[in-house]
Amino acid sequence: MSTATMSRDVASTPKTGSRVVVEALIEQGVDLIFGYPGGAVLPLYDELFKQDKIRHVLVRHEQAAVHAAEGYARSTGRVGVVLVTSGPGATNTVTGLTDALMDSVPIVCLTGQVPTHMIGNDAFQEADTVGITRPCTKHNYLVKRPEDLAPSLHEAFHVARSGRPGPVVVDLPKDILMGSAPYVKRERVSHRGYQPAMDPDPMRVEEAVELLLHAERPVFYVGGGVINSGPEACQLVTQLIRDTGFPVTLTLMGLGAYPASDPQFLGMLGMHVTYEANMAMHGCDVMVAIGARFDDRVTGRLDGFSPGSKKIHVDIDPSSINKNVSVDVPVIGDAKRTLTSLGQAWHRRSNRHDRTQTESWWQRIDGWRQADSLKFRQSSTVIKPQHAIQRLHQLTLDRDVFITTEVGQHQMWAAQHFKFDKPFHWMTSGGLGTMGYGFPAAMGVQFGHPDALVIDIAGESSWLMNMQEMSTCVQYRLPVKSFILNNSYMGMVRQWQEFFHGNRYSESYMDSLPDFVKLAEAFGAVGLRAETPDEVDDVILEMIKVDRPVIADIVVDRTENVYPMIPGGAAHNEIQLCPNENEPIKGSEEGMVLV
């Protein structure tokens, strides 16, 4: 708990609790809130009505409010703010909060609560919000005294944005909002227990550089933590990688941290991504993981994961180190500060580095690149989803374009075929894998970047999970584009059923889909459709041209699979490429247990 040292002269005259909340938000630099009103938060909505510094965006479902705040936060680097009512308002945020926790997104979520004297009485719209959200937030608060309002809010923002970022809930009982409370300024609030370590241990940095200097088969493995650390961290990591001349692979969350068009980039690594990246991870002698957490989608089978390498792991979260994979040089610290130290140490000693020692490693990598692992069979009659994404990328090269995705096959194809040269332009649900994330996240991105082109690359099943937000887009004239790769299946489920469950497509077919063009029109948006490959470009160009929300219904090959693939329970070097004939991919018995 925060403590505010208050004496009479610094505590300002009492105001209503709601006014204190609004002032704290303003002092924290908030100018945008995603929310949905209800009984318990009416006093706060009344206070919002009386001011003009904070803009409130009315979403159509509380889960979407959190995803929108995530999209806003991840594309701007600021804290995303959510306001919902008690009970169902709060419980509807749980998926979004869990998503933000898994992907380290700074969110402050204000929830209404029944008056303090009614807490525990099973009152109307009462839920134990702090109990329910405890495991899915970085921290949460139930404010029980008016004087705790301002300190709790200030601390909530500090906790959300510092260290490893994450979601924080502040539960606000109605009587506290209506009561009178003193305002406490941000700088008066101290955080006595919570002090995340930021600066790396210099000894560890030297050990890391020593390994780098003598590496013959090095690889950088960079994740979303570098993006979270800020634009400077991304520049520093790019500089260090260029200075060393080493190859780099990025995680799903890290895309954009290093330019995809650079020759040192091996592509993304993991279950569905490039052969060269996964083989490099498997065969390296020194691995430098920065802001990445050795997720099971990245490592494959743990006992077969990069067996011959010394591993350096830079992370701000001590519990991420040695969690799945034991490492040789753990470096706890903020990515920016650690990369600054690493860069300086490298420069001091780089005269001892001989670039020729990695030459044969690069030759092997170039050999792996020949596999052309992202290739797919083009068709002249049916739209291949990979082709649609490649065209989308090509036709938007001259634009400031932000991509969000839903979850499934389209997400992997987007990660494979849309190339990101800049950070903060790619928003996807990596850890939790939340279908329904992309569309509301795109709204949040558009609010943060009103003039940019914001596209949700979606599958039809995922998109339907938060389709109500089209109403929000129309209300706020958000020209968000929903680029739906429509194959009438939950494609990734269908793919796994094909590979591992004997082609028994249990409940993965979406019967009775809406007519997406008419659906767009019903909302007051624009609907477009492409059914053959020669229609794709026209639809994309029209979609970009229209300054309104658009659904582009791209009717794609129903049975296309994502390749390459590391089957569950396999190691990196057991990666399977796109089969030439109809030879099926087979998983192992043990692998089937894994998700």
Partner 1 sequence: MAEIERRHTIVVLVDNEPGVLARVIGLFSGRGYNIDSLTVSEVDHQRSLSRINIVTSGTEAVIEQIKALLGKLVPIHRVHDLTIEGASIERELALVKVTGDRERLVQALRIADFMRARLVDSSPGSFVFELTGNSDELDSFIDLVEPVEVSRAGVVAIGRGEIVLRPRDA
Per rule CB under 8 A, is residue 135 in the interface with partner 1? yes
Q: Token match 């999209």: residue?
A: 71
Tell me if 220 sits within 8 A of 342, measured CB to CB: no
Shortest Å, Cβ 279 to partner 1: 27
- Rounded Cα distance, 80 and 68, in Å: 8
256: tokens are: 């954009």
Nearer to partner 1, 195 or 356 (CB): 195
Residues in contact with partner 1, counted by CB under 8 A, come to a total of 22
Catalytically active residues are: 62, 124-125, 174, 492
Q: List the interface residues with partner 1, window 422-441 (CB under 8 A).
A: none
Stretch that binds partner 1, among 15-23, 83-91, 134-142, 244-252 (CB under 8 A): 134-142
Per rule CB under 8 A, is residue 159 in the interface with partner 1? yes
Q: What is the 3-state secondary structure (H, E, C) of 340-385?
A: HHHHHHHHHHHHHCCHHHHHHHHHHHHHHHCCCCCCCCCCCCCECH
Per rule CB under 8 A, is residue 194 in the interface with partner 1? yes
Nearer to partner 1, 75 or 228 (CB): 228
The contacts of residue 565 (CB under 8 Å, 6+ apart) are: 271, 272, 499, 575, 576, 585
- Rounded Cα distance, 80 and 94, in Å: 15
Cα-trace Rg, the chain: 25
Q: Tell me the DSSP string of 289-319.
A: EES----HHHH-SGGGSSTT-EEEEEES-GG
Tell me if 397 sits within 8 A of 451, measured CB to CB: no
Nearer to partner 1, 135 or 367 (CB): 135
Binding mask 324-363 for partner 1 (x = CB under 8 A): --x-------------------------------------
Phi and psi based region of residue 424 (left: phi greater than 0; alpha: psi -120 to 50; beta: remaining): left
Q: List the interface residues with partner 1, window 30-49 (CB under 8 A).
A: none
Per rule CB under 8 A, is residue 450 in the interface with partner 1? no
∠ at Cα 53 (47, 57), nearest 5°? 75
State whether the Cα torsion 31-32-33-36 is positive or negative.
positive
Nearer to partner 1, 75 or 338 (CB): 338
**Candidate residues 20, 41, 127, 142; the one interacting with partner 1 per rule CB under 8 A:** 142
Shortest Å, Cβ 315 to partner 1: 11
* Residues recorded for the chain: 595
Per rule CB under 8 A, is residue 307 in the interface with partner 1? no
Per rule CB under 8 A, is residue 120 in the interface with partner 1? no
Per rule CB under 8 A, is residue 192 in the interface with partner 1? yes
Per rule CB under 8 A, is residue 380 in the interface with partner 1? no
Stretch that binds partner 1, among 56-64, 315-323, 486-494, 572-580 (CB under 8 A): 315-323
Beta bridge partners of 57: 34
Nearer to partner 1, 50 or 192 (CB): 192
- Rounded Cα distance, 147 and 5, in Å: 11
- Rounded Cα distance, 439 and 286, in Å: 39
CA dihedral 73, 79, 80, 81 (to 10 degrees): 180
Per rule CB under 8 A, is residue 134 in the interface with partner 1? yes
Stretch that binds partner 1, among 110-118, 126-134, 340-348, 474-482 (CB under 8 A): 126-134
Nearer to partner 1, 134 or 355 (CB): 134
Task: Tell me which residues touch partner 1 (CB under 8 A).
Answer: 1, 130-131, 134-135, 138-139, 142, 144, 159, 164, 192-195, 317-319, 321-323, 326
